[in-house]
Structure 1
Amino acid sequence: MKVLVYGTGFAGEGHADAFRGAGAEVVGLVGRTASVVSAVAEKLSIPYSSTNWQEALETCKPDIVSIATPGGAHYEPIKQAIAVGCHVFCDKPMTHSAESAVELYTLAQAKGVKTAYAASFRYTASVLHAKRLVEEGAIGEPLEVECISHFNLDRDIPFGWSHRKEDGGGRLNNNFTHTLSIVSSVIGEKILSLIGEVRDDLGKAPIVDGVHNFMTRRNFIPEDLNDPSLKWGESNVEWSYTVMAQLESQFAVKPVSVLFKHGGLVPRYHDDHIVFYGRDGAIYIKGHYGSGPLSVWGKNKQWEEVPTPADIADSIPDVKGETEQCWHYLAREFVKDIRGQSVEPYPTFKEGSQYQQFIDLIRLNQNWTQVSHL
């Protein structure tokens, strides 16, 4: 399998490594800036580099393309890749809008190419463990789920794609996509209904040149934020959200209620966590994406930490970083599926387009009932 990667930052390097781990050959790398893409390609020992995506498709003739740019830059490259019959691995968010995401899903279906949507934290060891426990009846009938996270992000990180709706920014695109995927993998993939509220707590951010890698953007925060010559960009996305959803589950008679609560700019007091509550018990996972220790509340009426089963632990790719482990896991499943091997269902453009529609609906903020007159 030959893979062409689009993106030279943290995700681009991570995707390239993930596909190599899956036994594929990374034949090319495409980026926006010639000097950057050539340097990263040399660093990763990728033989071909370019700033022209269409030209790279024609030259490299990949079986798979891996899209690792911000969400606002996904639409055209994916559309071009589908047109020439490439299978597509795409990081979240799928695109910047529901309309464009649905179009790409439809095009991929019509062309018959396989797709993978990397809302991939469903592949942490504790989430996989929780999925097994629910299937085994450890908590009885699932009733509700709670996902709580507070990131306390620095308000002065330089202005960029994460601040702009049109570029795939916002906490729904970059946090909710993962937690929804986690809950769906454990409880059930069919989302029946949802309601939500979003808020922009930020307003503006300093405009700074030279930021390339998302993971190092804090290093570029200006020393003097009161400098009169400093330029500022206006945020147009949410930095906080509250979403309630109902999911259908094969393990439950009634829809399972889910609360997703995220504050991007506020500090946490207790640990971020995900909890699955059932009629007979509960499963608690520490961490905003369920990557911490797992505890079970069972018949003895107290919380007990439960170690990860050996076979699940052995299935987790042996690489550094939770994000990287999950990319490796999904890339491995994707390559196996393309090769005709049997795999468990994984997130595709079907889920990616659904999630984008959910996000657009939540952002409308049309769920309030005015009661001030009562």
Structure 2
Amino acid sequence: MSNPIKVLIQGTGFAGQGHAEAFRYAGAEVVGIVGRTPSVVESVAKELSIPYFSTDWQQALKDCKPDIVSIATPGGAHETPIIQAIEFGCHVFSDKPLSTTGDSAKKLYELAKEKGVKTAFASSFRYMPHVIHAKRLVEQGMIGEPLEVECISHFNLERDIPFGWSHRKEDGGGRLNNNFTHKLSIVTSIVGEEILSIMGEVRDDLGKAPIVEGVHNFKKRRDFIPSDLSDPTLKWGDSNVEWSYTVLAQLSSELAAKPVSVLFKHGGLQPRFNEDHIVVYGSKGAIYIKGHYACGPLYYYDENKQWTELPLPQDIIDNTPEGEGDTERNWRYLIRELVNDVKGENILPYQTFKEGAQYQQLIDLIRRNDNWIDVSQL
């Protein structure tokens, strides 16, 4: 394609603005942006120098004729605009979750496959530099056969963050949608993409959150926590999603004779005592990465039974996009892959709606909380 790839963005918040900058970084032309509120979408469009803005998605598709659309709204608002974009013939980049139910996400994947459009699913923390390094070390046999993976994180989120989409299952909220998707993507990237079995337990230990007007940018929601939570006029919304989860999975690995066991443990509201981490244990060694999303550094446990910090290889550093933070850099990495794919260039496989649909079906299974066996009479 000789002309710049044209992109239409849906969503004006943190994700929408981040997606717009990421597509520009990849050399695409952001031709329009769509939002719910006229004054907000106009303001964001002017701030980002986007020539077209609207509150009508279908009309924007007709007016802008984009090659790619970017879906940057909460998950509860994904299904209809994605269907409309696919029917229009657009390739689609969607933030996670792909949709709010496994059935809905599967329908989107099957439609995209039927129409022959390219899709990308932004469980994109697999592009953290230390994750890419760990993947390389495992492939090189540095730890022998991978046996077990442990993912531990505690976020200690403020309980009084204003009520919004993250508190509602029907809007794509919950820690499985917004944390587990990244963790699962990281682990499958390192060990192997085939998920064999899964079970889990979830818990809502929040209950409610204050309702506050004016929250637009998800990243700035903490700025709106009420100063007086005892104010009798303050309204409260009920949470209906998980804020903690424990998941066990088994993955197939080409490097292992048996399935690899994986533990995902996340407490969204619980404080951490030691570092959040991801560890890959093997028959000959182990890899430890600090941070809930593997921000690093990375340590290698060798045959001498010692942990040694390993620096990032220069080629991984050179291939990492610039960006304000990890989220922005990872969007840029995945979007660069999608844009290059649309251009017809040779690229490595990346996550598509296939994984987005699979992940949402897994989340539905985990949320059932039906893995318990009553042993009270034993």
Taking structure 2 as the reference length, the TM-score comes to 0.98
| 1:43 is the counterpart of 2:34 | no
Deviation at 1:289, TM superposition (A): 0.6
Counterpart Cα distance in 1 of 2:240 and 2:152: 23
| 1:217 is the counterpart of 2:221 | yes
| 1:297 is the counterpart of 2:331 | no
Per-residue CA deviation, residues 167-207 of structure 1 (Å, 9 max, x unaligned), is: 00000000000000000011011100001000000000011
- Residue matched to 2:196: 192
Counterpart Cα distance in 2 of 1:321 and 1:94: 23
Deviation at 1:223, TM superposition (A): 1.0
| 1:96 is the counterpart of 2:100 | yes
- Residue matched to 1:279: 283
- Residue matched to 1:14: 18
Structure 2's unaligned 5+ residue stretches are none
Q: How many equivalent residue pairs? A: 374
Out of 115, 120, 138, the residue aligned to residue 116 of structure 1 is 120
| 1:173 is the counterpart of 2:152 | no
- Residue matched to 2:139: 135
Q: Secondary structure at the match of 2:152?
A: strand
**Residue identity matched to 2:76:** G
Deviation at 1:250, TM superposition (A): 0.5
Matches within 5 A, 1:22-101: 22-101=26-105
Q: Secondary structure at the match of 1:275?
A: strand
Out of 329, 337, 352, the residue aligned to residue 333 of structure 2 is 329
Counterpart Cα distance in 2 of 1:214 and 1:343: 32
Deviation at 1:78, TM superposition (A): 0.3
Q: Percent identity?
A: 71
Matches within 5 A, 1:303-322: 303-322=307-326
Deviation at 1:146, TM superposition (A): 0.3
Deviation at 1:292, TM superposition (A): 1.6
Per-residue CA deviation, residues 69-108 of structure 1 (Å, 9 max, x unaligned), is: 1111111110100001000000001011111100000000
Q: Secondary structure at the match of 2:209?
A: strand
- Residue matched to 2:256: 252
**Residue identity matched to 2:108:** L
Deviation at 1:318, TM superposition (A): 1.7
Deviation at 1:300, TM superposition (A): 1.9
Deviation at 1:237, TM superposition (A): 0.2
Counterpart Cα distance in 2 of 1:159 and 1:321: 25
4+ runs deviating over 3 angstroms: none
Per-residue CA deviation, residues 260-296 of structure 1 (Å, 9 max, x unaligned), is: 0000001000000000000000000001011121110
Counterpart Cα distance in 2 of 1:224 and 1:265: 20
**Residue identity matched to 1:365:** N
Counterpart Cα distance in 2 of 1:205 and 1:77: 29
Out of 314, 336, 342, the residue aligned to residue 338 of structure 1 is 342
Q: Secondary structure at the match of 2:161?
A: coil
| 1:269 is the counterpart of 2:273 | yes
Structure 1's unaligned 5+ residue stretches are none
Per-residue CA deviation, residues 26-54 of structure 1 (Å, 9 max, x unaligned), is: 00001111111110111110000011101
Counterpart Cα distance in 2 of 1:330 and 1:337: 11
Matches within 5 A, 1:229-244: 229-244=233-248
Q: Secondary structure at the match of 1:172?
A: helix
**Residue identity matched to 2:226:** P
Q: Secondary structure at the match of 2:262?
A: strand
**Residue identity matched to 2:143:** I
- Residue matched to 2:161: 157
Per-residue CA deviation, residues 137-190 of structure 1 (Å, 9 max, x unaligned), is: 010000000000000000000000000000000000000000000000110111
